Structure 1
Amino acid sequence: MKSQLRSYINSLLHRGSVESAIDAEFRNHIELRAEDLQREGLTPAEALRRARSEFGHIETHKENIRSSLGLRLLDELSADLRYAVRMLRRSPGFTLIAIASLALGIGANTIIFTLAKGILLDHLAVPQPNQLRLFAIVRDNHSPLHRFWGDYYKTPDGRSITHSVSYPVYQLMRRQNLAKPVLEDLFAFKYLGDFNRFTASVDGHAGTVTGELVSGNFYRQLGVQPALGRAIQPSDDDAPGSGPVAVISDGLWARLFGRSPSVIGKTIQLNLIPITIVGVNPPGFTGAASVQLSPDVFLPFSMQPTLMPAQNASLLQDPNQWWMSIMGRARPGISNEAVRAAFSVWLEQDIRATVVVPKDASMPDFVVESGSQGLAAATHDYAAPIYVLSVLTGFVLLLACANLANLLLARSAARQREMSVRLALGASRSRILRQVLTESLLLSSLGGIAGFALGYLGRNTIPHLLSSVWRPAPLNARFDLRIFAFTAAISILTGILFGLAPAWQATRTDVNTALKDAASAATRRRKGLAGKSIVVFQVALSMLLVVGAGLFARTLINLNTTSLGFDPHNLLLFNIQAPPTRYPAPQNITLHQRIEDRLAEVPGVEDVALVENPLLAHNISNTTFEPTDQPKPTGDNRYCDVNTVGRNFFETYRIPILYGRSFGPTDTASSPLVAVINQSLAHSVYPNVDPVGKTFITERNQGDPETIYQIIGVAADAKYDRLQGNPPSTFYTLYRQAKGEQFITYTIKTQLSPAAILPALRKAVESIDKDLPLRDIRTQTEQIEDSISQQRLFATLTAGFGVLALILACIGIYGIMAYNVARRTSEIGVRMALGARTRQVLWMVLRESSSLAVFGVAIGLAASFGLTRFIRTMLYGLRPTDPVTFIPAALLLLAVVIAAGYGPARRASRIDPMQALRHE
């Protein structure tokens, strides 16, 4: 088999020499036979003639040899391709419509696959990423661990899963693993995120950069060598402050240093601390946290106390702060279950060795995950939307295929006589099948090329739609050979898919009947059944897409019209991050007080409010809430949300105070701690009781003294982190009474436009510290729009898909009805000659198109009822089977499809009986 395959390939690659060899072989045989005949007494001319006669028709023998070598198949395919090109050139309108519809379908699928590849398939750019193991813990409200900084997700049973551990636990686990090796070694990292940027200064140019803290063995365990300079080493991570060095990303190297090799040894100021650049990461390396985007700088953990000192102690020494992630490389022959079993025991030992564990506490479970995609935050955030979009774009491509199959069926019927002649002249049915499929594959290939181009040009469309005006979405759409292979595969698949029905119809042609052009009405009806079935399929798919568009559009409308509990208009937001090296706690509180007072003096500013977690920004803080006049609840601790705000917060956001008062000038750092609770918290904790004046205890950091707050007011409910759902139980504390806040969002109430007032605001901040930039400038309305970017994306895309589905359904119903009218011209002429009225003919054709529409809509409705339940969690304010969406969608599709069938019906009603009978 292999030798035969090699022979085929060799013949195809060296066709010229193979043809010459065949000719030479036949010429040699003829000459040898002629010489034999001459020795028998024949003349040279007669011997040559006799030799040629004995060999027979040389070209027939050559064709047999070519066929055995695969050359004949190549000739036939080449002829089929040339003929297909001629046929498509003869119908430029059909060709353009076909290529355009395929390009839209294939291009949309290419765009979605590009994102899916980056989110679901891409691995970290390190050697053997499948060997990496990521640690996670699963905890409930009985856990002795309460202070986490990092990602967390809810499990189906209501517990939380996180990839964060404390630095002391990491050190203990690493020593235990080295003593009894289960993994090769453990290494740690912490992506600081967009909200914890470093202020950066290079050669007098200031800005901000993102960072990732890593352990000294980070690069060695990942197996990554810098493209320039050296990596971070264990000696850089020996002791706090021992490694003022950084390895920068390839992107930062290009942006700030123009890829100059002299960057090694340069100094960059991070949070006003001089850091020496010792290396540059290779292109494509994104660290260990994400496969999407790379942090700008990588620093050893030893620099955390210097660059970002904590409020009370170094995070490297705080056992209560679980904030860093751990990975390790698998050892040969050690299963994940063995790793889990060993580290589960060590985790419990290390927790008990580092924190106080109450008697009724439940220990967290240890989980081992694949680390090949890092923390896979993008997978958690975007996997479900990507799956839904993949299904929707698949439906669009199926619609395009169904539409083309219908058009090709009509063309195939028109070419029925041509196919019959081919069959009568000896062409095999497989040869006809291949010819028709060649035309389909040529169309799909051209559509695939156009779709690939559209996919490349539109690869950043979805990241752009998900990005806010001040911050890009953490998605990277990279094209590679897998994208090309995917596009080629679906192009071939679609070509086969929409070409099968026409090819099958062409091979079923009855030669005698077709040549006589005397097919019976029953035969014609049978041939029209395939087209009608495809139209019903189109309408059903269109129904699915229109219903999906309606559900997501209504979700977006519901989100935009939901009650916020505050006034979002005329609010300008920006962030200020105080460098902890210049403004350690509590000096940062004093800084923000000065900035707040200075901004309030700017002309045009009506109010200034400070807030730790800006509203509707998907950021939230929570803690325990224990009323001092109530017994501590058994079971789970009572948790609620908390936000640290300025004293004008409620006035700026126009949140009413229902009872008591809001924060005032008498609430200072030296006065008793006060809080305002919202209505939901008041109803759940103090039903039928006035909570004003009551006190509660909260313990934000384990081991700290109990913090007692007095409730001074009850505010109306307001949305906190997201629009979906009811406002959570929340209490508000005053930032002037906080221990220290490095990252604060300022909210400015003003009637002026951002462009008009921003210069004055910048000048006011610079008058206090010229090194404090205003970051992430946006309005509250833009903040809200960003919070529903996914819903807006779905509403936009599904609306486009729905419109495209309606257009394709109209083309399908129009095409099949026009074809049926043309095919039944004689029948309609006879009906009219026998007395049928114009209206009767009109209704006869409309009844046929309406029946197709009704049947397709019914199937689509049934499918929609079954499939929309899978997007239940993505909807808001309506059920997946919402009748307000389903009924209008069905009526719209029926109206559009029936209207599309009116044109052919009207044409049928105007047929002249005499011309129709003459045609017969």
Structure 2
Amino acid sequence: MSMVTNMIRALRALFRSGEVERELDEELQDFLAASIAEKMRRGMTPEEAARAARVEMGSSNVVKHRIRSIGWEATMENLWHDLRYSLRTLAKSPAFTLVAVLSLALGIGANTAIFTLVRQVILQQLPVGDPEQLVSFGNLHASGMLGGVDLSFLDMYTYDFARQLEAAPGPFAGVGSYASMSPRVNLRVPGAALAIQREATLVSGNFFQVLEARPMLGRTIQPYDADAPGRSPVAVVGYRFWQQSLGSDPNIVGKTMDLNAARFTIVGVMPQGFHGLKQEADPSDLWVPETMADAVFLSSNLLEPRSNYFLQMFARSRPGVSMAAESDWLDRQIRAYVRAGESKTPTADREKEIGRLHQPLVPAAEGVSEIRNRYSDALGILMAIVALVLLIACANLANLLLARTVIREREIATRLALGSSRLRIVRQSLMEALVLSLTGGAMGLAVAFLVTRGLIAFVSRGTNGIPLSAVPDAGTLLFTLGVSLFAGLLFGLAPALRIARSSAGPVLNAGTRTAGSAGGRDGRWWPRALVTGQITLCLLLLVGAGLFLRTLARLEGQNFGFDNTHLVFANVDATLAGYKPEQAPALNRRILERLAAIPGVRAAALSDTPPMSYGSWNSSIHPQGYTPAPHEDMSPILKRVSGDYFAATSTPIVAGRAITPEDTASSQKVVVISQAVARHYFPKGDALGHTLTIDIDTAGPWMIVGIAADTLGLGPRRDRADTLYLPLAQLVGPHGEGTQESFASSVTLRTTGSPDQAVQGLRAAIASIDPNLPVLDVRTVQEQMSLFLSQETLVSRLAALFAGLAVLLAAIGLYGVMSFNMVRRVHEIGIRMALGAGTGAVQWMVLRESLVLFLAGIAIGLPAALGLANLLRHQLFQMSPFDPVTFAVAIGGIALVTLLSAWLPARRAARVDPMTALRCD
């Protein structure tokens, strides 16, 4: 009979025992009647047959007991009795039970919360057909330049190359592409009075087919939608966009919406959870064909052959085709494309470079995730931290259960002496531990839900909401169950082993005063070992938390190259309101005039990006008199700024002058360079007065009039990048007309007081110019900084929180061990005091024991902490992993907590009355 059938029968016998008992009685009566009939056929009288059958069968109660003791029924019944016994035992100690369950709820809940995010961010596959067959194109292993692009950093391709592979995918089942950037577009949707802004992603016509993604409503974009530029203005929307902006309209398919200045038809709605191949912090909810790039990017040259590298590519593998064969074929296609783009016949050296081109393929079952790249290291570290916290909680509970076992030694010995099975008592002890762990796990789910919601809110700052859920799924529930069972077995093992090795004789022969010590040295070894382990783990957590906190402080406290106080940033993208390039210069002047008039604003400026930004505009430069090295990267960051930019950001000018409002379209074209550019291209220090040309639409040459301090424009962890500052007013056409380069969407305000008042004034000022101008992403510099340091902040704060929790648990554990040892040794203490020992000597006796445990824990933990610090060296910033301050504070903190935890039991021991202790029996 199958295991499932046996378990069902066992559960039926457990919960419907009366019915099962009647069936068993009927079965025994049938057997007895059959036996009597058989004996009567052999010639016995009815009376003789009945007597013989009863004697042969024996007592019905004995028979039923034997039947019950065989198979799953007995096992389930015994487990049920053990469970009820454990519940009664725990109910008698509500304080202990509450402390144990809360400790486990915190430990298991923390593990479940972090695992919930790990599962969604790192482990969860895309909701598409056979996601394990998907591969994405990684960074090209190459050198040299192609169309002004450094091939060694190439992970994007042109539209014509993508179409070439889509049409002839070779060994792949299909090759698709999508735009690397999802620009924010202006939308007017059915039933909405005001325009809204959303990110839109350009995709190839076969994007959804290669992914094997099916719509919830309507259809997806098809190859015929993307067979010619501008031909098919169709859009597929995401589930969140359909819910929030389209009112969950079931008849939305076929309706139109205005995207920037073009009208698009909605042809499909994707199911909940689908966000394309890219898993971003701000996921795109709108997909349109790549051939509609002009409408989305408001640019007319993206699709020109060999001109713009803006598409990322992926493919679906065919079953049975190796990734090596696919990569080999892809390398040949890329080499052929590069050769065809050479302006002349490649030299032998150039041919060698082309021959070394190699395109690695990256498994993409989980998608290409910005969230994973940003937070995978942090989640891995936090997973290790919460595992250590759970181990400390388990050690604490093991100590508490050991103390309860010692207290109950006489009860256990009596049961053993009366014939109870040792295995049964061990099983009941483990059952008690499992009841605690499963109850703690159930409460831990609630803790995990709250913690996960908080973590999602933290990592979602500055976004429209990261697509993560705090609701545990089946995998998370199984993880919680597994962790709960493991924790129960872990902290229940020590008491179970003590029971398994205990003997009834010594305990029963000992007096009540010494019964608790009958375990001898072995009984005292386990608690001390567990406390030593807790101190070791606490040292690891405190050192890790200290290193992360000091790293965060160094990142926040470094010199950014500009004054990062009293700054407010905002995004005012005029293109979303339908402004044309020729309108940009006049609009910029109006915006600056209104911003300067806001009360509490000391200076206002426009630029293409904030002083600190993830993105940048780069282009090749050609300084006067400079001879570049072969394949040298000469594409610094170009920053478009208004005249008061340096005043608004307080970026120091170390030589020359800043860009001013007097630098206009009709004056000499000027540029301010960063110190890094000056050092690199003008090592003699004579940069001022030199000219350079730049590969942009606005013609040069540009005269260097100033050198600005290097800034951390790409973030606190990035190097100070080469930067050129170009006057916004001079980025115009040959007749002074505005161009695409004339737009500057980033507003920077330097305030004299609270930024909140300036924010209100900013919105009012922009609305007074044009109510349709969107004011987006309004942030203070501190909020902008927190976005850059989100991983470091998350890790350091949670590491500190969990380290504090671990120290608290260890302190409780040490206090419990010291208090219990003091109670067990009260008779010894009484004798010592009766023989003349003073209170100081008694206190030192207790404190010395805690000091030994502390030194043992530090001796074991210090080498481990040094190893841990070395592993974390790549997570640190401008500091040694063996930072003496961090280690000194961690060890000192544990020493202080150890002394405080032992001081109360030592003080209580010193107040013991010798006569009371000696009379105690």
- Normalised by the shorter chain, which TM-score bucket? over 0.9
Please list, as runs of the form range in 1=range in 2, the aligned pairs for 1:843-858 lying within 5 A after superposition: 843-858=844-859
CA distance in structure 2 between the partners assigned to 1:171 and 1:732 by the alignment:
37
Please list, as runs of the form range in 1=range in 2, the aligned pairs for 1:407-486 lying within 5 A after superposition: 407-468=400-461, 472=465, 475=468, 477=470, 479-486=472-479
**Deviation at 1:610?**
1.4
CA distance in structure 1 between the partners assigned to 2:35 and 2:334 by the alignment:
91
Judge conservation of contact 2:546–2:890 (CA < 8 Å) in 1.
Answer: yes
Of 365, 384, 392, the residue aligned with 1:391 is 384
CA displacement, residues 140-195 of structure 1 (integer Å, 9 cap, x when unaligned): 663325559xxxxxxxxxx9655421111111222342xxx3111212222643x5
Q: Give the residue type in structure 2 aligned to 1:73.
A: T
Q: Give the residue type in structure 1 aligned to 2:840.
A: R
Gap change, CA 1:221 and 1:725, over 3 Å in 2 = closer
Judge conservation of contact 1:123–1:291 (CA < 8 Å) in 2.
Answer: no
**Deviation at 1:219?**
2.2
Judge conservation of contact 2:176–2:207 (CA < 8 Å) in 1.
Answer: yes
1:822 aligned partner? 823
1:51 aligned partner? 53
**Deviation at 1:501?**
0.7
CA distance in structure 2 between the partners assigned to 1:140 and 1:581 by the alignment:
41
Please list, as runs of the form range in 1=range in 2, the aligned pairs for 1:529-540 lying within 5 A after superposition: 529-540=525-536
Judge conservation of contact 1:440–1:495 (CA < 8 Å) in 2.
Answer: yes
CA distance in structure 1 between the partners assigned to 2:793 and 2:829 by the alignment:
50
Secondary structure at 2:629's aligned position in 1? coil
Of 6, 10, 25, the residue aligned with 1:12 is 10
2:736 aligned partner? none
Gap change, CA 1:224 and 1:631, over 3 Å in 2 = closer
Please list, as runs of the form range in 1=range in 2, the aligned pairs for 1:658-697 lying within 5 A after superposition: 658-697=654-693
Of 186, 205, 208, the residue aligned with 2:197 is 208
Secondary structure at 2:368's aligned position in 1? coil
Which is worse superposed, 356-365 or 61-70? 356-365
Of 488, 493, 496, the residue aligned with 2:489 is 496
CA distance in structure 2 between the partners assigned to 1:175 and 1:96 by the alignment:
66
Which is worse superposed, 849-858 or 623-632? 623-632
Judge conservation of contact 2:189–2:245 (CA < 8 Å) in 1.
Answer: no
Gap change, CA 1:775 and 1:234, over 3 Å in 2 = same
Judge conservation of contact 2:568–2:748 (CA < 8 Å) in 1.
Answer: yes
Of 270, 287, 301, the residue aligned with 2:276 is 287
**Deviation at 1:516?**
1.6
Gap change, CA 1:121 and 1:589, over 3 Å in 2 = farther
Which is worse superposed, 430-439 or 739-748? 739-748
Gap change, CA 1:542 and 1:580, over 3 Å in 2 = closer
- Say whether residues 1:182 and 2:171 are aligned partners: yes
Identity over aligned pairs, percent: 36
Gap change, CA 1:112 and 1:479, over 3 Å in 2 = same
Gap change, CA 1:779 and 1:123, over 3 Å in 2 = same
Judge conservation of contact 1:589–1:740 (CA < 8 Å) in 2.
Answer: no
Judge conservation of contact 2:644–2:661 (CA < 8 Å) in 1.
Answer: no
**Deviation at 1:625?**
4.5
CA distance in structure 2 between the partners assigned to 1:717 and 1:285 by the alignment:
42
Of 159, 164, 171, the residue aligned with 1:167 is 159
2:611 aligned partner? 615
Judge conservation of contact 2:673–2:725 (CA < 8 Å) in 1.
Answer: yes
Gap change, CA 1:11 and 1:244, over 3 Å in 2 = same
Gap change, CA 1:293 and 1:681, over 3 Å in 2 = closer
1:336 aligned partner? 323
Judge conservation of contact 2:577–2:773 (CA < 8 Å) in 1.
Answer: no
Secondary structure at 1:776's aligned position in 2? strand
Which is worse superposed, 4-13 or 104-113? 4-13
CA displacement, residues 544-581 of structure 1 (integer Å, 9 cap, x when unaligned): 11112211221222223222222222222110122279
Secondary structure at 2:740's aligned position in 1? coil
**Deviation at 1:198?**
3.7
Of 24, 29, 32, the residue aligned with 2:31 is 29
Please list, as runs of the form range in 1=range in 2, the aligned pairs for 1:514-663 lying within 5 A after superposition: 514-517=507-510, 523-579=519-575, 582-585=578-581, 587-634=583-630, 636-663=632-659
Judge conservation of contact 2:134–2:316 (CA < 8 Å) in 1.
Answer: yes
1:351 aligned partner? 338
Secondary structure at 1:33's aligned position in 2? helix
Secondary structure at 2:267's aligned position in 1? strand
Gap change, CA 1:872 and 1:570, over 3 Å in 2 = same
**Deviation at 1:327?**
1.9
Judge conservation of contact 2:611–2:649 (CA < 8 Å) in 1.
Answer: no
CA distance in structure 2 between the partners assigned to 1:656 and 1:506 by the alignment:
74
Q: Give the residue type in structure 2 aligned to 1:417.
A: R
CA distance in structure 2 between the partners assigned to 1:141 and 1:652 by the alignment:
40
Gap change, CA 1:763 and 1:810, over 3 Å in 2 = closer
Gap change, CA 1:217 and 1:67, over 3 Å in 2 = same
Which is worse superposed, 375-384 or 57-66? 57-66
CA displacement, residues 410-455 of structure 1 (integer Å, 9 cap, x when unaligned): 1111111222122222233222221111000000000000001111
**Deviation at 1:695?**
2.2
**Deviation at 1:603?**
4.5
2:867 aligned partner? 866
TM-score when normalising by structure 2: 0.92
Judge conservation of contact 2:261–2:295 (CA < 8 Å) in 1.
Answer: no
- Say whether residues 1:97 and 2:99 are aligned partners: yes
1:256 aligned partner? 245
Gap change, CA 1:859 and 1:365, over 3 Å in 2 = same
**Deviation at 1:876?**
2.0
**Deviation at 1:717?**
2.5
2:774 aligned partner? 773
Secondary structure at 2:139's aligned position in 1? strand
Q: Give the residue type in structure 1 aligned to 2:184.
A: N
2:78 aligned partner? 76
Please list, as runs of the form range in 1=range in 2, the aligned pairs for 1:826-837 lying within 5 A after superposition: 826-837=827-838
**Deviation at 1:500?**
0.5
Secondary structure at 1:138's aligned position in 2? coil
1:155 aligned partner? none
- Say whether residues 1:111 and 2:124 are aligned partners: no
Gap change, CA 1:573 and 1:474, over 3 Å in 2 = farther
Gap change, CA 1:652 and 1:722, over 3 Å in 2 = same
Judge conservation of contact 1:125–1:291 (CA < 8 Å) in 2.
Answer: no
CA distance in structure 1 between the partners assigned to 2:462 and 2:162 by the alignment:
39
Gap change, CA 1:844 and 1:14, over 3 Å in 2 = closer
Judge conservation of contact 1:841–1:908 (CA < 8 Å) in 2.
Answer: yes
CA distance in structure 1 between the partners assigned to 2:708 and 2:778 by the alignment:
27
Give unpaired runs (5+ residues) of structure 1: 149-158
CA distance in structure 2 between the partners assigned to 1:450 and 1:356 by the alignment:
69
2:184 aligned partner? 196
Aligned residues between the structures? 899
**Deviation at 1:4?**
5.1
Q: Give the residue type in structure 1 aligned to 2:156.
A: S
CA distance in structure 2 between the partners assigned to 1:817 and 1:760 by the alignment:
63
Judge conservation of contact 2:141–2:360 (CA < 8 Å) in 1.
Answer: no
1:156 aligned partner? none
**Deviation at 1:382?**
1.3
Secondary structure at 2:872's aligned position in 1? helix
Judge conservation of contact 1:127–1:224 (CA < 8 Å) in 2.
Answer: yes
1:782 aligned partner? 783
Which is worse superposed, 617-626 or 817-826? 617-626
2:708 aligned partner? 715
Gap change, CA 1:628 and 1:478, over 3 Å in 2 = farther
Judge conservation of contact 2:283–2:466 (CA < 8 Å) in 1.
Answer: no
2:734 aligned partner? none
